[in-house]
């Protein structure tokens, strides 16, 4: 199980806001926060030594978002440097729940740096049938270390 991982430190990934991430006012378009969170989860998995294309090819496993709860607090702006975190908060046999946070990197007041909070539930699916399947043993073993 993933219980040992629940006590690990939060993984964080830097994301720069590009012009294409923003609306015509220079504010990050709301759906792009989900993309930023996806990058952080992908880099978290990579940090643990797993590539998603190899998991599909070798384990016939894909990870898909089952649900997303997003709270928007403050806007991110063009050219901001953000830090996007990912922390496992719960798990099941074929699912992982992440708490994710998007913060502005250079803010004097930490309370003002939190831009977006998310709870993302991920399902582990068989790549061929698209039905739930157990999280690969190899990944679980790595998470327990």
Residue 29, SS3 per DSSP: coil
CA atoms within 13 A on the CB side of 25: 6
Contact call for residues 122 and 63 (beta carbons, < 8 A): yes
Verify whether residue 23 is a known catalytic residue. Answer: yes
Which one-letter DSSP state was computed for residue 94? Answer: S
Catalytic residue, candidates 23, 80, 109, 126: 23
Give the whole-angstrom CA distance, residue 73 versus residue 58.
Answer: 40
Task: Name residue 121's beta-bridge partners.
Answer: 67, 97
Q: Which residue has the tokens 């978290």?
A: 44
Contact call for residues 68 and 34 (beta carbons, < 8 A): yes
Give the whole-angstrom CA distance, residue 72 versus residue 91.
Answer: 25
Q: Which residues are catalytic?
A: 23
């Amino acid at each position: 199980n993933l219980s040992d991982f629940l006590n690990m430190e939060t993984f964080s990934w830097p994301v720069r806001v590009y012009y294409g991430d923003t609306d015509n006012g220079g504010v990050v378009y709301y759906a792009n926060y989900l993309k930023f969170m996806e990058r952080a989860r992908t880099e978290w998995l990579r940090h643990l030594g797993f590539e998603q294309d190899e998991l599909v090819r070798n384990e016939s496993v894909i990870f898909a978002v089952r649900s997303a709860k997003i709270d928007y607090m403050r806007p991110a702006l063009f050219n901001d440097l953000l830090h996007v975190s990912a922390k496992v908060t719960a798990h099941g046999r074929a699912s992982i729940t992440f708490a994710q946070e998007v913060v502005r990197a250079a803010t004097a007041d930490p309370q003002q740096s939190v831009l977006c909070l998310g709870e993302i539930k991920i399902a582990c699916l068989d790549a061929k049938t698209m039905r739930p399947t157990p999280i690969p043993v190899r990944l679980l073993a790595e998470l327990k270390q």
